[in-house]
Chain A
């Protein structure tokens, strides 16, 4: 198994130019879908303009493919210049064991504590009073993307919330459309479930389960309702034979599927396809119900390097990331919300404005990536992917196992 990771590392490094100039900085990330790649290009251009050079280290697949490669490069003594992780606990142990550098000087100079909103973003980067990562964007999971064309076809007005969508499910099925598109990789059904928890069950329930890790609540009647809703979702997703999330989004874009529950990064795909919010597709933040978004997202972490010039380049990159202009350019392409509220987003489309509005009103919660460890997330992913694929598994059985996971979560 290690050899595999090692080989992947070798393959990744072999593609790099060997004679690195002093200020070349390799940045590894998993932003590879159309909208994401366009956003990365903005970031790279801005960094190149500072006189340094962005060496792109994109790793295809999803975060779960990319993270093992990144981590084994850092722990294996071949760190890159900077790397993407989600805010939260994915890089926790790397920071604890002193493999990452802190950005205190940059953060103080740029007054990060005052400008970065919500504060939980910076809290997730902080360990023992030092700041270890530069937040790039805010992503939220709680979005239902709907194809207007699909609903036109079945002669039903585009749903305004999840309940209406579920009601329209059978009609979509009759018309030969996939009601709810979801890809096969486990993080998608896991995210879908967490979205149901906060959007249908409310922020209080969400916090009790994931923040307080209360086993009793997880086994209780409130969660039972969520599992019943997940059962509905499971029926609607049946027959969705795609693997990646952007393939599922593509089903919605082409009108082959009614909708998809996916984070706001799906927005970038609609934009790439030249679709207009409100006309070609509809977005429902909080599934049209609880207007609260979780503010997870991406952050760039910087491994501790010995090379002084590269360390300086790391600081420049961190400054570039929080720069207002870069924030606007990057986030418009990616469909995410900037990490600072003092930027001009007149160019944002309807969906993004809705999201920015909700966050500005304080309708935020902390994302599960920040609340629970990667280990607990994986156990949840295992459970959810089994539940969504195995029809013989009842919601009650799933809830029982869910409560066990929450009970032993950390």
Chain B
């Protein structure tokens, strides 16, 4: 790993102004040298790998990559496949709901936590604890909780309410919500912690000023505090967003895509077709579509966020 100190000392050195403009290439030379390995890794592994995948998604590669190009055949087949369509729909439902719920619930929890309550650290630990579990463990735990014979349904029925039915994982229409519950349980604690950190970063004086002006607390939160917490929200959005796109292990642990293919997700389609169906081309096409979807969302946002501003 490059040592952070070296880049700092290099940055603080004055740049000699010999002839007009300084040569941009040699500015901060030390830090640039230190960053070279990382840049190479990024260029070769991330960028190179991505380009290679996109190129081979236009081939009919089966078990092994093979450069025989077939145009957009793989994409036509992909979009004609009902499993892929279901996967996309599931990801949309899961994505939108998990974004909304984890932000809202996380923020409300953080705001409650911020009321100078007793045992705050105990509550914080309890809420954050699920995040320490992997998705596989989370998935298995919730598979048991939602199992109609041993879980919630079984317990309620044994208490006397025998017609009670709650078996989301065995009902194709609502199975994705069963997965959403587990996802929220796992991820909300982290959102809460990030929000709490953001709230703690708000100056006490702002609250005092709001109180002097007689603004009710909920309005202060919505119109003053939340806009001030913009950087925290952006970090949280990125974390939640990447968690949504790579949704895979939770589904595998809870339902393995079932019942039928009602809880399939794009990442699982990619894996299954690449390795089980031995059809790399189809898997590559699916992963390229995933990349494209992310790009469609990220690029305009990044343009709005960073466009026009020169980084100093």
Interface residues of A (CB under 8 A from B): 1, 4-5, 64, 67-68, 71-72, 75, 90, 92-94, 97, 184-185, 241, 243, 373-375, 377-379, 382, 385-390, 401, 408
Contact = CB atoms under 8 A, between A and B. Distances in A.
Given A97-B64, A386-B82, 16 more contacts: A1-B270, A1-B271, A1-B287, A72-B275, A90-B278, A184-B256, A374-B278, A375-B62, A375-B278, A375-B279, A378-B277, A385-B258, A385-B261, A386-B260, A389-B261, A401-B82
A375 B282 contact: yes
B185 interface: no
Nearest to B143: A243
A68 B172 contact: no
Interface of B: 62-64, 77, 81-83, 148-149, 170, 172, 256, 258-262, 267, 270-279, 282-283, 287
Contacts of B270: 1
A184 B258 contact: yes
A5 B272 CA distance: 12
Contacts of B256: 184-185, 243
Contacts of A382: 81-83, 261
Contacts of A93: 62-64, 278
Contacts of A377: 277
A92 B77 CA distance: 23
A375 B277 contact: yes
The majority secondary structure among interface residues of chain A is: helix
A243 B259 CA distance: 10
A68 B259 CA distance: 23
Nearest to B279: A375
A75 B62 CA distance: 13
A5 B77 CA distance: 25
Contact of A389 (B258, B273, B274, B287): B258
A68 B275 contact: yes
Contacts of A1: 267, 270-271, 274-275, 283, 287
A408 B81 CA distance: 13
A389 B63 contact: no
Contacts of B279: 374-375, 378
B262 A390 contact: yes
A44 B77 CA distance: 44
A373 B262 contact: no
A320 B171 CA distance: 48
B142 to A, nearest CB: 15
Contacts of B172: 389-390
A379 B277 contact: yes
Nearest to A377: B277
A388 B276 contact: no
A389 B260 contact: yes
Contacts of A389: 172, 258-262
Contacts of B272: 378
A189 to B, nearest CB: 9
A387 B258 CA distance: 12
A71 B261 contact: no
Nearest to A239: B170
Contact of B260 (A90, A374, A390): A390
A335 B54 CA distance: 46
Rank and list the top 7 A-B pairs by shortest CB-CB distance, nearest first.
A389-B260, A68-B275, A378-B277, A93-B63, A389-B259, A374-B278, A375-B279
Contact of A64 (B83, B170, B262, B276): B276
A4 B271 contact: yes
Nearest to A397: B82
A241 B258 CA distance: 11
24 contacts: A1-B267, A1-B275, A4-B271, A64-B276, A71-B63, A71-B275, A71-B278, A72-B275, A93-B63, A94-B63, A97-B64, A184-B256, A184-B259, A375-B273, A375-B277, A379-B81, A382-B261, A386-B82, A386-B262, A387-B260, A389-B172, A389-B258, A389-B261, A408-B77
Nearest to B282: A375
Contacts of B271: 1, 4
Contacts of B262: 386, 389-390
Contacts of A75: 63-64
Contacts of A5: 275
A378 B272 CA distance: 8
Contacts of A92: 63
Nearest to A382: B83
A241 B170 contact: yes
A388 B282 contact: no
A183 to B, nearest CB: 10
Contacts of A390: 172, 260, 262
A79 to B, nearest CB: 15
- A241, A243, A377, A388: residue with the most chain B Cβ atoms closer than 10 Å: A241
B272 to A, nearest CB: 7
- B62, B77, B148: residue with the most chain A Cβ atoms closer than 10 Å: B62
